Chains A and B, each alone.
Chain A
Amino acid sequence: MLPDAVAFVRSTEEVAALVRLCVAAEVPIIAFGAGTSLEGNVTPVKGGLTIDLSEMNAILEVNQEDFDCTVQAGVRREQLNEHLRDQGLFFPIDPGANATIGGMASTRASGTNAVRYGTMREAILSLRVVTPDGKVIRTARRARKSAAGYDLTRLMIGAEGTLGIITEITLRLHGIPEAISSAVCSFETLKGAVDTVVQSIQIGVPVARIEILDDAQVRACNAYSKLDYPEKTTLLFEFHGSERYVEEQVETVREIAGYNGGGEFLWSNLPEERNRLWKARHEAYYAAVNQRPGAVGWTTDVCVPISRLAECIVETKEDLATSSVPSTILGHVGDGNFHVIFAIDPKRPEEMIEVEALNDRIVARALAMDGTCTGEHGIGLGKQQFLVDELGDAVEMMRLIKRAIDPKDLFNPGKIFQL
């Protein structure tokens, strides 16, 4: 499923002109950022014109005193953080991939920092959007809060380009913390690890990142990233704040971990140690897939209320143990969001069938716990039936909105739901 053509745009005005052409000619129009999404979110199922926004990569303004900035949609998150570093600011949303800010907005992305700093839903103050009638709108001003009418910003975030094309984003920023420490702790049981997370959050420790890796994922990371962590369920932490406050956080979580069967609590405030740890975390997907030569990766994305997380992961792990397809579990455990990464042999189509059945059960388990089929990847093509299972008649209201805004179904058609 390829587009008929790809236009590399450089301004909102060019996007608006192309939108008007496409609507007049009834040609499908698909916005494209870095192409790092995971659910077929930008696959042009009806062909048409793909609008590549990667050349709209200017950081338009940084308001240091207001802790915000405005960027074009093609700016990548690493580029933004390099630009902000000298001003003592940072943009915390980190999905792992060096995605574009526009793509992250369109899929309502999040990542390892969400437990402390939220997701793209919280990070965005305002959007500039080219609507299907070719107009350019701004969904809000830079004010930190507003009660001005319908919240069009939140309507566009996660809409996957089905309601318009986001060309500029105004983002909340944060001050770079005075001190940052990272820590690693392995656990005898998965429940002990998850209980450590729940109890740390319950008593108000503002942990900046808490990631969980199951024993299989630790084994894969050790091999891929040349580490030597115990091959047990492991938590990775990061703490932000003043020197003294970070030390307090580390000490509190160390005690909680010990109480829950945690082993040695290895922590460091050295940047090189921290970078080594998070580099390994960001390579976890490749580590998981690399365990099996020639394999391709396939990942799930459920999220449950944190009180149900241990139960959900334990049941999932029992289910995975019955499968012949190698898999690992890792997740943003502070949010209740976890991923299973399958390493599938592409020459064995029966493995894909098996993995889809496993994923069906993972999603059904999460929904039964009042969770969601997607914590951060979006619906795209792959999760449309799950969306109906999750939200029922609410999907019909989404269809009404889509029909009202894009009556010819030209904006990224076939995504999220079928009209």
Chain B
Amino acid sequence: MTAPLPNFDRKPLPTGFLDEVRAVVGDRLGTGEAIRLQHGSS
């Protein structure tokens, strides 16, 4: 049957992680709500 999903743990990103990602992809890193919403489901 269609079972309810569990509650998934969500941890904050480690300090400095996004700076490390930005060092790889530069300004091709999005953190704004619109871009996150666009990638939030399918």
**Contact between chains at A14 and B39 (CB < 8 Å):** no
A385 within 8 A of B: yes
Q: How far is B20's CA from A342's CA once the two chains are assembled, in angstroms?
A: 45
Chain A residues whose C-beta falls within 8 Å of the C-beta of B1 in the assembled complex: 360, 385
A9, A46, A381: the one contacting B25 at CB < 8 Å is A9
Within 8 A of B (CB), among A79-137: none
**Contact between chains at B2 and A46 (CB < 8 Å):** no
Query: Most chain-B CB neighbours within 10 Å: which of A25, A38, A356, A386?
Result: A25
A148 within 8 A of B: no
Within 8 A of B (CB), among A17-34: 17-18, 21, 25-27, 32
B8, B29, B37: the one contacting A2 at CB < 8 Å is B37
Chain A residues whose C-beta falls within 8 Å of the C-beta of B35 in the assembled complex: 6
**Contact between chains at A381 and B21 (CB < 8 Å):** no
Instruction: Digitize A351-390: 1 where CB-to-B-CB distance is under 8 Å, 0 elsewhere.
Output: 0000010011000000000000000000011101110000
Q: How far is B11's CA from A27's CA once the two chains are assembled, in angstroms?
A: 8
Q: Give the shortest distance, in Å, between B13 (CB) and chain A (any CB).
A: 5
Q: Give the shortest distance, in Å, between B26 (CB) and chain A (any CB).
A: 10
Chain B residues whose C-beta falls within 8 Å of the C-beta of A39 in the assembled complex: 42
Complex interface: stretch among A47-55, A243-251, A286-294: A47-55
Q: Which residues of chain A have a CB within 8 Å of any CB of chain B?
A: 1-10, 14, 17-18, 21, 25-27, 32, 35-50, 52, 55, 356, 359-360, 380-382, 384-386, 413-414, 418
Q: How far is B5's CA from A35's CA once the two chains are assembled, in angstroms?
A: 21
Within 8 A of A (CB), among B1-42: 1-3, 5-6, 8-14, 17-18, 20-21, 24-25, 28-31, 33, 35-42
Chain B residues whose C-beta falls within 8 Å of the C-beta of A2 in the assembled complex: 33, 36-37, 39-40
Q: How far is B28's CA from A26's CA once the two chains are assembled, in angstroms?
A: 21
Chain A residues whose C-beta falls within 8 Å of the C-beta of B28 in the assembled complex: 7-10, 55
Q: Give the shortest distance, in Å, between A30 (CB) and chain B (any CB).
A: 8
- A5 in contact with B30 given A46-B8, A385-B3 (CB within 8 Å): yes
**Contact between chains at A38 and B24 (CB < 8 Å):** no
Q: How far is B17's CA from A86's CA once the two chains are assembled, in angstroms?
A: 46
Q: Give the shortest distance, in Å, between B2 (CB) and chain A (any CB).
A: 4
- A17 in contact with B39 given A5-B29, A27-B14, A359-B2 (CB within 8 Å): no
Chain B residues whose C-beta falls within 8 Å of the C-beta of A6 in the assembled complex: 29-31, 35-36, 38-39
- A14 in contact with B42 given A25-B14, A46-B9 (CB within 8 Å): no
- A382 in contact with B39 given A5-B31, A7-B25, A18-B24 (CB within 8 Å): no
Chain A residues whose C-beta falls within 8 Å of the C-beta of B8 in the assembled complex: 1, 45-46, 413-414
Chain A residues whose C-beta falls within 8 Å of the C-beta of B38 in the assembled complex: 6, 35
Chain A residues whose C-beta falls within 8 Å of the C-beta of B20 in the assembled complex: 21, 25
Q: A4-B31, A35-B38, A43-B42 are in contact. List 14 more A-B contacts (CB 8 A).
A: A6-B29, A6-B38, A7-B21, A9-B25, A9-B28, A25-B14, A26-B11, A26-B14, A27-B17, A45-B5, A46-B9, A48-B13, A49-B21, A50-B39
Counting from the closest, the 6 A-B pairs by CB-CB distance are: A385-B3, A8-B28, A2-B40, A2-B36, A37-B42, A45-B8
Q: How far is B8's CA from A319's CA once the two chains are assembled, in angstroms?
A: 34
Q: How far is B33's CA from A6's CA once the two chains are assembled, in angstroms?
A: 10
Q: How far is B6's CA from A418's CA once the two chains are assembled, in angstroms?
A: 9
- A36 in contact with B42 given A3-B36, A5-B18, A385-B2 (CB within 8 Å): yes
Using CB atoms, name the residue of chain A closest to B4. Answer: A385
Q: How far is B14's CA from A4's CA once the two chains are assembled, in angstroms?
A: 11
Q: How far is B41's CA from A38's CA once the two chains are assembled, in angstroms?
A: 9
**Contact between chains at B41 and A1 (CB < 8 Å):** yes
Q: How far is B13's CA from A44's CA once the two chains are assembled, in angstroms?
A: 14
Chosen A-B contacts, 30 in total, with CB atoms closer than 8 Å, are: A2-B40, A3-B36, A3-B40, A4-B31, A5-B18, A5-B36, A6-B29, A6-B30, A6-B39, A7-B29, A7-B30, A8-B29, A9-B25, A9-B28, A18-B21, A18-B25, A21-B20, A25-B17, A40-B41, A43-B40, A44-B39, A44-B40, A45-B8, A46-B11, A47-B11, A48-B13, A49-B21, A359-B2, A360-B1, A384-B3
B2, B18, B31: the one contacting A382 at CB < 8 Å is B2
Q: Give the shortest distance, in Å, between A330 (CB) and chain B (any CB).
A: 21
